[in-house]
Amino acid sequence: MVVPFHVTEMLKRVRARFFEQGHESRMLPKDDDFTTLRPVRTATEASINRYWTRLIQGPATDADKAAIADPDTVSRANHYSANIENMIGTVKLPVGIAGPLRINGLYADGDYHIPMATSEAALVASYARGAYVATKAGGISTAVLYEGVLRTPAFTFDTLLQAGTFIDWVVGNADLLKEAAEATTNHGKLTSLEPVIDNNVAFLLCRYTTGDAAGQNMVTIATNALCETIAEHCPVPIKRWYVEGNFSGDKKASSLGTITGRGRKVSAAVTLPDPLIEKALHTTTDEMLDYARVANLGALLSGQLGAQAHYANGLAAFYIATGQDAACVAESAVGFTRMERREGGLFCSVTMPNILVGSVGGGTSLPSQTAGLNILGLKGAGNGAALAEVTAALCLCGEISIVAAMAAGHFTRAHDSLARQR
């Protein structure tokens, strides 16, 4: 019999804490009065100072205010108003550069210096190493294979028959719904409308292209207009409708996203010559393949959606540095890494079906994030697809570097020297 020591130890700590003097009532509801913070949508120096006056009465200090509400941030508070409520300042993360990374893509073509914002030591060094070997090998080929951002409204009915009749009406009036959705945007296009029925509940998988924007808000507004048109014209009595039925995979890893994609689906690949692997990565093709097989088995046995080493590391750092929605890492970090022996070297590829990035909109207009996109040369209209290809290429660099480090037995040593010893 297996004795769960961690459970018994946890119970001991809970009991000890609960029965300490005065702690018996700490988890009960409390009706103590409190002073609410007045919400502020448009940030100003005065509103920031008002919040800090309140915070400094608690555990915060003047030093905390100086670190978050620095003079440059406060002087440009209005620049942030479209992206934040109740603003008290900005948080600074160190930004490193990986590259140059040579990309030979359908949209991204050139040598890119890639900004990465992170507090994790060794991360930028690892991606920079991957970028070096990929560029020495001639660069990474990339292609956007598919595009479509999903929003999936849900409609409830009394019976299955009503739900089926509703879907029949939707199919017959698809042009009307497409017109209503696209009237809300200059850039979004409704490309498909796919029904799914679960008894008396019907979902509509509304898929859009979103131009150069990531498009989360765009598709929400468009879909809301579509739903309002349905509610106005559909002869079937609808009990309730919701603009999102939690089917789309928005900010979640899902089987649907793994198969059909959400955002841009991008594939990136490079073949590394054997001598380059030995010289630059201090391992061999066979050793990397041996580890890759074990890692793929681990992914299979643990039930990963996809099979990859650590897309989330590169995605989070890149998304923060370029003004993307960092929460989209949850779905973007799904995909497949492949490594195969090819003549004279090692073929390495990633295919990522849920890359959600934009070169316009969202946080891309913030001062630091604008600078990050300018470093890439991908700020503004016409650069959304290229940015997605850069994202996939960056993740491939991370996969190459970490697999090589594991294969060579250098992973722990690198983190010890870069993350602890310095």
Catalytic residues: 120, 325, 415
Nearest Cα residue to 207 out of 366, 97, 354, 56: 354
- Asked if residues 122 and 414 have their Cβ atoms less than 8 Å apart, the reply is yes
Nearest Cα residue to 134 out of 315, 396, 406, 376: 396
| CA–CA gap between residue 21 and residue 11 (Å, rounded) | 18
Nearest Cα residue to 388 out of 128, 116, 145, 126: 145
CA distances from 82 to 9, 221, 354, 390 (A): 48, 17, 26, 27
Neighbour count for residue 182 (Cβ, 10 Å): 17
Number of H helices, E strands in the chain: 16, 11
| CA–CA gap between residue 206 and residue 200 (Å, rounded) | 19
Residue 295 tokens, joined? 């890692």
Q: Quote the DSSP letter at residue 6.
A: H
